[in-house]
Amino acid sequence: ADFDRPGLQVVGLSQRVAHKAIKLAKRTNASTRRATAANVTRIQEAIRDFSGVAPRENNIWTDLGREGLSRNTRNFLWKGIHGAHKVGEYFGKMPEPWRSYGRCRSCDVPESLEHILTQCPDSGQEIIWRLVAKLLEKK
């Protein structure tokens, strides 16, 4: 009969289990972008330099999904790993005045999340990192 198709039996299947199965299937079939692979490698190297042990890639993604992080934080980190924030190259193919947003106005270098968060003296990052250090001391 037309309704008799092979596949997953739905009886006893919760929405949570179905959702996890769909996410896993999508993740398994997805190809890794070059920028993502490079960023994951940099994360592994940074953690290895800090702790002596490099995490496996799947542990990075699993930990990113943990409930201890807010949804906004998880989205920010996910976009950062995938190079999806609207900085730098994002503006490269746009007409002026937006094209100029691809370069840091203070340093005249290509804008990047790394530059904003760790290098640019005008982004306020020194204050933020000082506050982060104080916050981590309390935990």
Strand partners, 110: 103
| Amino acid letter, residue 35 | A
Using CA atoms of 77, 92, 96, 113 in order, give the dihedral in degrees to the nearest 10.
30
pLDDT of 42? 94
Instruction: State mean pLDDT over 92-106.
Output: 92
What residues contact residue 39 under an 8 Å CB cut-off, 6+ apart? 80, 81, 82, 83
- pTM value? 0.69
Q: Where are the domains of the chain?
A: 34-84, 93-139
Instruction: Please give the average per-residue pLDDT across 46-74, as a whole number.
Output: 92
- Of 25-39, 58-72, 89-103, 115-129, give the lowest mean pLDDT range: 25-39
Question: What is the predicted pLDDT for the residue at 1?
Answer: 47
By the 10 Å C-beta count (0-12 exposed, 13-18 middle, 19+ buried), 82 is classed as middle
Task: Give the model's pLDDT for residue 24.
Answer: 78
